[in-house]
Amino acid sequence: MIANQHRSRFVLIALAGISLLMALWAGTLRLGWPLPAPGESFVVNHGPLMIIGFLGVLIGLERAVALGRSWPYGVPALSGAAALLVLTEIPVLFPAMTAIVSSLLLVGVFISLHRQYPSEHFIVMGMSAFVWMVGNIVWLMGSPLFAVAPWWIGFLVLMIAGERLELSRLRRPSATVRGAFYASASIIMIGLGVSLADFHSGIRLSGVGLLAVALWLLRYDLVWHTVRQAGLPRYMAVCLIAGYVWLATGGIFWTLFAPFFSAGPRYDAMLHSILVGFVFSMIFAHAPIILPSVTGFAMPFQQLFYGHLVLLHISLLLRVGGDLAGSRAAQQWGGLINVLAILLFLANNALAVKRGEGRG
């Protein structure tokens, strides 16, 4: 049983990798770069491939490994299947239904975890999975992807914030501090609910919640302690701080530019300040810990990790600056270098694993 689970992890990691590469390909096409497209609707599937196929598989796999049981592997398996269905360009009904079942299982994972280890952060993470499920239902109902995107982003932000809330317990935050976190997270979810009736007002309200969560993390996260350390702890702290700043920036954008949340450069800035600046900063930060726990491969910290981190944030500044200034060239080049930074991240991780094997 254990051996089968271990083998299945590599299959799921491969699905996540395929989804990521396909999403980057589609995203590069969306930016206007002249690449071949494998299908007519391939470009518009950038979001589902990234959120469901890549991040859904990774988050589900991480939690399945943590729970140590067989059924939670259904979360990443179904997310990967949904991504493959998206690539076939069949009607959205089929990948959306598959994603709904995956997110429902993820809710079950956190219910199970909370029963075993009662804790507030599992409630937050369970709510994030519920938000993902609602977003997938909105997708199933035929809503345009810009109406689905806030739910998917809310899922990712609340999931990551719940994980950081878990670690903040080491600082023993007061009831008031914890209450501020719950209030901030609640504003995000209330805004998402409002968006179903009044889309722009809901986006603006969720933006306030995103900003509040970011400020809470900047104030109460452990990063200000670990950034003074050396090696991996400092690298992770730098990633996290940069990500929190981008999350705050995204919250401000959502609040100011809510009427533009559908298309255009401001929409690009509202999405990618969070999905690239925040989410990928979190991925960069936690990869040296999560990947070894999932794969069993050693991945010692390398100073070269700062290369993909710096490249990501410089290119994102160029991209978002181009969005706000109306410079198509800056947006395109910034986006392309975003892609190169993520590919460099993959290459640096592979190199670190190889060096880890050499040490063994």
- Note the pLDDT tens digit of each residue in 274-309: 999 999 999 999 999 988 888 888 889 999 999 999
Average pLDDT, the chain: 92
Average pLDDT in the 318-335 region?
96
pLDDT of amino acid 41: 81
Amino acid at 307: G
170 vs 34, residue with greater confidence = 34
Average pLDDT in the 133-142 region?
96
pLDDT of amino acid 4: 59
pLDDT at 140 over 90: yes
Amino acid at 325: A
* Dist. CA 169–CA 174, nearest whole Å: 10
> What's the DSSP call for residue 142?
T
pLDDT of amino acid 40: 75
pLDDT of amino acid 339: 97
* Dist. CA 157–CA 177, nearest whole Å: 19
* Dist. CA 205–CA 197, nearest whole Å: 13
Average pLDDT in the 112-121 region?
88
pLDDT of amino acid 185: 96
Going by pLDDT thresholds of 50, 70 and 90, the confidence category of residue 5 is low
Average pLDDT in the 124-139 region?
96
The first and second tokens of residue 117, run together, are 């280890």
Asked whether the CA dihedral 17, 334, 255, 263 is positive or negative, the reply is negative
* Block residue for tokens 């239904």: 97
pLDDT of amino acid 59: 94
297: left (phi over 0), alpha (psi -120 to 50) or beta: beta
Going by pLDDT thresholds of 50, 70 and 90, the confidence category of residue 350 is very high
Give how far the C-alpha of residue 18 lies from the chain's centroid of Cα atoms, to the nearest Å.
16
> What's the DSSP call for residue 172?
-
Q: What is the pLDDT of residues 251-260, one digit of tens each?
A: 999 999 999 9
pLDDT of amino acid 355: 86
pLDDT at 354 over 80: yes
pLDDT of amino acid 67: 82
pLDDT of amino acid 170: 65
Question: Alpha helix locations (H) across the chain?
Answer: 2-30, 46-48, 57-67, 74-88, 93-116, 120-140, 145-168, 175-195, 199-220, 223-226, 232-257, 265-272, 279-295, 305-325, 328-359
pTM score of the predicted model: 0.94
Q: What is the pLDDT of residues 54-87, one digit of tens each?
A: 999 999 999 988 888 889 999 999 999 999 999 9
* Block residue for tokens 């391939």: 42
* Dist. CA 257–CA 251, nearest whole Å: 10
Q: What is the pLDDT of residues 184-241, one digit of tens each?
A: 999 999 999 999 999 999 999 999 999 999 999 999 988 888 898 989 999 999 999 9
pLDDT of amino acid 358: 61
299-331 b/e (C-beta count within 10 Å ≥ 16 → b): beebeebeebbebbbebbebbbebbbeebeebb
